Amino acid sequence: MNWAILGAGNISNIFSQNIIQVRNSKVLSVASKNEIKLKEFGKKFNIDQSNQYNNYNNLIRSDFDIAYVGLVNSLHDEIIKELANNKKNI
């Protein structure tokens, strides 16, 4: 299962630490508007630079199996609607 992570903060780090423990699961991509957190997260989880996005919609349009929304609650509605409109598993 290839995971796309929206947000590179504390909760996304905790979630991703658990994902990498699951057989057949991988943190494939990440999106964050914070460039420093994006790079640190990508390095920590060995995410190819081409799968590190500073724009949520670019990640949403990429290829992955399932998305995890680790963003502030005020962004959940908008992001989940975009994921659903793009027929992504959430």
Q: Cα 55 to the chain's mean position, in Å?
A: 11
pLDDT value of residue 38: 98
For residue range 58-77, list pLDDT tens digits in order: 999 999 999 999 999 899 99
**For the range 19-27, what are the long-range contacts, defined as Cβ-Cβ under 8 Å and sequence gap of 24 or more?**
19/68, 20/45, 25/1, 26/1, 26/2, 27/3
pLDDT value of residue 54: 97
Section 12-30 average pLDDT: 97
Q: Report whether 60 contacts 86 (CB < 8 A).
A: yes
pLDDT value of residue 48: 98
Output the DSSP codes for 15-56.
Answer: HHHHHTTSTT-EEEEEE-S-HHHHHHHHHHTT--GGGEESSH
**Where is 4: in which H helix or E strand?**
strand 2-6
Identify the band that residue 85 occupies on the pLDDT scale cut at 50, 70 and 90: very high
For residue range 25-57, list pLDDT tens digits in order: 999 999 999 999 999 999 999 999 999 999 999
